[in-house]
Amino acid sequence: MKGELNITSIKYEGSFPNEKTCPKSTLPEYAFIGRSNVGKSSLINMISDRKEIARVSKSPGKTRSINIYCVNKSWNIADLPGYGYAKVSKTDRKKWQKMIEEYMLFRPNLVMAFVLIDLRHDLQAIDQEFIDWLGVRQVPFAIVYTKSDKIKPPKVETHVKAIEDALLTTWEAMPPSFITSAVTRIGQEVLLQYIVDLNSEIKENS
């Protein structure tokens, strides 16, 4: 990666139990969220061009708070807990849901939520519900399809179309979307370029 796409520094700002405790910042912030085991930590490590920025675990549900990283001293990544993880108590699920909803609604410097969807599977009801929730509340978001390396190349577009056809039952048009793989690094530069372009627009309009 060259120029603005080159990530020269990443600082871990900390782990926070809710939006109110997150550090105040005027830097553009991009949240990454999806169902547990969707490959979120691997994706964050890929776009960060680092191996262990976000912890990758074989056990889903390890991210239990809002983890914030400052990239190049110019923008933030917010790593949010996965939704829909069944092997926790109802109390914990409600707590995480409240944490996610309050972050999405009240974080003042949030620019975009990247909703991760595992490309190997059909659109899950919980993904549809979360995406619709974002839409009703007018939270800007994009879709990131993960684990494209797990599917034979000719079938990738077929899987994407099936998911988008399902979403279009409640949406008039699709938001921006990206096909990625943390293994083959597909989508790394395209996704980073999208963030860089958004940052440039924000700077020009400020």
Report the greatest alpha carbon distance in the chain.
46
The pLDDT of residue 58: 43
Q: Note the pLDDT tens digit of each residue in 120-139.
A: 999 999 999 999 999 999 99
pTM of this structure? 0.91
Contact partners, residue 57, CB within 8 Å, separation at least 6 = 41
Record: fold of 3-185 = Rossmann fold (3.40.50)
Average pLDDT over residues 164-179: 96
| 150 confidence band (pLDDT: 50, 70, 90) | very high
Average pLDDT over residues 153-161: 95
Residue boundaries of the structural domains of the chain: 3-185
**How far, CA to CA in Å, does 94 sit from each of 50, 88, 131?**
32, 10, 18
User: From the centroid of its chain, how far is CA 86?
Assistant: 20
Amino acid code (one letter) for 125:
A
Q: Note the pLDDT tens digit of each residue in 53-74.
A: 665 444 444 567 999 999 999 9
